[in-house]
Amino acid sequence: MQGEDARYLKSIRLKSLNANTDITSLARKVVEECKLIHPSKLNEVEQLLYYLQNRRDSLSGKEKKEKSSKPKDPPPFEGMEIDEVANINDMDEYIELLYEDIPDKVRGSALILQLARNPDNLEELLLNETALGALARVLREDWKQSVELATNIIYIFFCFSSFSQFHGLITHYKIGALCMNIIDHELKRHELWQEELSKKKKADILLEWLDEDPENQTLRKDYEKTFKKYQGLVVKQEQLLRVALYLLLNLAEDTRTELKMRNKSIVHMLVKALDRDNFELLILVVSFLKKLSIFMENKNDMVEMDIVEKLVKMIPCEHEDLLNITLRLLLNLSFDTGLRNKMVQVGLLPKLTALLGNENYKQIAMCVLYHISMDDRFKSMFAYTDCIPQLMKMLFECSDERIDLELISFCINLAANKRNVQLICEGNGLKMLMKRALKFKDPLLMKMIRNISQHDGPTKNLFIDYVGDLAAQISNDEEEEFVIECLGTLANLTIPDLDWELVLKEYKLVPYLKDKLKPGAAEDDLVLEVVIMIGTVSMDDSCAALLAKSGIIPALIELLNAQQEDDEFVCQIIYVFYQMVFHQATRDVIIKETQAPAYLIDLMHDKNNEIRKVCDNTLDIIAEYDEEWAKKIQSEKFRWHNSQWLEMVESRQMDESEQYLYGDDRIEPYIHEGDILERPDLFYNSDGLIASEGAISPDFFNDYHLQNGDVVGQHPFPSSLGMDGFGQSVGILGRPATAYGFRPDDPYYYGFGPR
């Protein structure tokens, strides 16, 4: 007859039960060997075994997932188990033992712990306030006298902490705060032990160089004895630390409790504990740190304690669970730029790359590497590892239509570096990527290809073979995201030998491009790529003429009006105008048939540096070929420069007039009686004519050209190409990558000094 008393229950442990077990045979064996089960119950036993087998299978998947996130419960510690079997009915006897000497207290706490480890007893123990009060009192008073006693009592409360509904009980007896004090004390004790051991070790090393004599032998034996004692103390201490930290980890479910722990320097204690060698303790410590690392304040504490240097020794390591949880902690920390720098400095990059070949750690290692690859200064470092060949292998072996997001994102980042791209394109790399991207219409893979296409050099010329394939994707029938990436890739192909006119005609791209420029015809991302594409093909004079005849320029001006607040649009549209005035065939269309020059004059003093640069270069070319616009441009430059100059002079005057108020006669007035424009020093400097930033009148500019035999608007274009309106060299303008002057392949210069 089954009762609630554990004495009347018989447990049968089925160690051999697994997914392949023959349930019928096992049930028969159980009935035969257990005399308490009547043979008539065979069917019921078989049913129970079937249930246990299925439950085991269903739980195995969950166990695998939770394996890395939650450490195992601590087992009964070595040296603390007792031969007696505890009985819940004898609790009064165990409580009395807590009032005796230390050995009796250890025995009593061990018996209560034996009961507490069975979850069925916790509710009954909870009702026994006398027992809980006595345990809390003994822990508070005697924890320094016996590590075993402290471990047993904390373990009892740990059993309660495994269930959220009992956390109030632990808070009531202030066990959490007490555990914090115990952990802090034990860590300091460990430091003292290490210091003492270190001194004796140094003495032992010195003795090795001396002659063998009885006194030296005694000292050596003393060191060996001390070392053995130290090892024994560390084992017991780590058992105590493990159960105390696990209790705190359970209590930290409540973020308010976690904040209290943080205020008591829990992070510093945990990072100190990373110096231990006990795998089970380290798993617990790293799990706790991982939980804490999601809050910035805790992460900053970890930075102060140089946590990355301590974690690097664990990668790689033989213990799977420890390696897994350490990688997850590093992933949390890798969201911080400074910590990513530290990871690279301590040599984690090749170690993480080596883990890409291990199926168990591939995903998490890739996520950490992805974060590192976000920093441009570290992208080139991947070229010196075997990372890129491994990633290419993963890409080509992926059987799904869509590649894993982490993998393709990582590849996109790496493709922004020129050296990496050379490795990616080795062999048939680009051919395989293009084949897969076009087959599955994968926009992210095409984004990677687009990044590859932006780098000048041999890799860009490889794209000549795929211009037709890419142009064929530019249509309304394809997915917009994919078309955007294809357009962006084509727009990057600034290859002199490429016949863009043939491409535009063969694939009928001009109507498509013109249609997308209409306001509201497409999303802004697609329209911007269309504008950039027009800028690229306009480098070819025959293409520029073709586009001008199609009426694209008025459409661009209309788009410029609609997007005048968007610097990116403005910059790229102006660059199209620059390309158009660059070619003789389209120059007259821009200058005489549109209002583009007027828009350019308005944008001459835009706050964006890239827009000003493209604008100035375009206006300088216009000024070379149209006398009327040249005068307007010069007048505007004159007005702008002098308004700035006068404003500066007036402000200087105000400053100096304030000095006169205080009777300072020594300072000469900045402006004399005459007009400031008659001052010769405003027009000349030690090198001759002042640069274009100076305030020069249009008449002076014309006189200067006439004196030098030039007639504005009549000299041939090539002879003056690359000169601004004031005779200063400006160089041939390259296509702006963005409105912010950033090209992905630009070199980066960073200081690596102490932060």
| CATH code of the domain in which 586 resides | 1.25.10.10
Do 552 and 431 share a structural domain?
no
Task: Indicate the SS3 state at residue 748.
Answer: coil
Q: Let me know if residue 579 belongs to a domain.
A: yes
Asked if 621 and 733 count as a contact pair (C-beta separation under 8 A), the reply is no
The answer to whether 341 touches 376, Cβ cutoff 8 Å, is no
589 and 537 both lie in a single domain: yes
pLDDT band of residue 520 (cuts 50, 70, 90) is confident
614 and 547 in a single domain? The answer is yes
CA dist., res. 17 & res. 553, Å (int): 78
Domain shared by 467 and 509, yes or no: no
Burial (Cβ within 10 Å: 0-12, 13-18, ≥19) of residue 22? exposed
pLDDT tens-place string over residues 83-127: 788 899 999 999 999 999 999 999 999 999 999 999 889 989 999
Query: How sure is the predictor about 214, in pLDDT bands with cuts at 50, 70 and 90?
Result: low
pLDDT digits (tens, 9 = 90+) for 418-439: 999 999 999 999 999 999 999 9
**Mapped to the 3 state alphabet, what secondary structure does 199-242 carry?**
HHHHHHHHHCCCCCCHHHHHHHHHHHHHHHHHHHHHHHHHHHHH
Predicted local confidence at residue 365, as pLDDT: 96
For 275-286, what is the mean pLDDT?
A: 93
Report the greatest alpha carbon distance in the chain: 126
Query: What does the alpha-carbon distance between residue 464 and residue 445 come to, in Å, rounded to a whole number?
Result: 19
Kindly state whether residues 467 and 603 are assigned to the same domain.
no
Cβ-proximal residues to 197 (8 Å cutoff; 6+ apart), any chain: 226, 227, 230
Report the pLDDT averaged over residues 245-266.
94
Q: Is residue 381 part of a domain?
A: yes
What are the residues whose beta carbons fall under 8 Å from the beta carbon of 176, sequence distance 6 or more? Answer: 170, 247, 248, 251, 257, 260, 261
Q: What pLDDT, on a 0 to 100 scale, did the predictor assign at position 438?
A: 94
Q: Are residues 503 and 615 in the same domain?
A: yes
Last residue of a domain, one of 607, 632, 650: 650
Per-residue pLDDT at 230 = 85
Q: Burial level of 447, CB count in 10 A (0-12/13-18/19+)?
A: buried
Strand partners, 688: 685
DSSP class of 571: H
The mean pLDDT value for 41-51 works out to 82
Judgement on whether residues 512 and 461 belong to the same structural domain of the protein: no
Least confident of 487-496, 499-508, 669-678: 669-678
Lowest mean pLDDT among 196-205, 560-569, 619-628: 196-205
**403 and 536, same domain (yes or no):** no
Highest mean pLDDT out of 40-49, 244-253, 598-607: 244-253
pLDDT at 34: 79
Q: Write out the residue range of the structural domain in which residue 589 sits.
A: 499-650
Residue 510 shares a structural domain with residue 626? yes
Residue 305 lies in a domain: no
Residue 618 belongs to a domain: yes
Confidence at residue 72, expressed as pLDDT on a 0 to 100 scale: 66
Residue 395 in any domain: the answer is yes
Q: How many domains does the chain have?
A: 3
When pLDDT is averaged across residues 394-414 and rounded to a whole number, the result is 93
Count CA atoms within 13 Å of residue 93 on its CB side.
8
Task: Point out the domain boundary residue: 10, 34, 53.
Answer: 53
Closest CA to 619 of 591, 584, 593, 586: 591
- How large is the average pLDDT for residues 326-330? 96
Q: What is the mean pLDDT of the chain?
A: 82
Cis omega (within 30 of 0) on the bond before 316? Answer: yes
Query: Is 674 within 8 Å of 607 (Cβ atoms)?
Result: no
In a domain, 716, yes or no: no
Are residues 604 and 527 part of one domain?
yes
Q: Do both 403 and 516 map to the same domain?
A: no
**Is 457 in the same domain as 526?**
no
Residue 532 is assigned to a structural domain of this protein: yes
Q: What is the pLDDT of residue 471?
A: 96
Question: Side chain identity at 122, as an amino acid letter?
Answer: L
Q: Is 602 a member of any domain?
A: yes
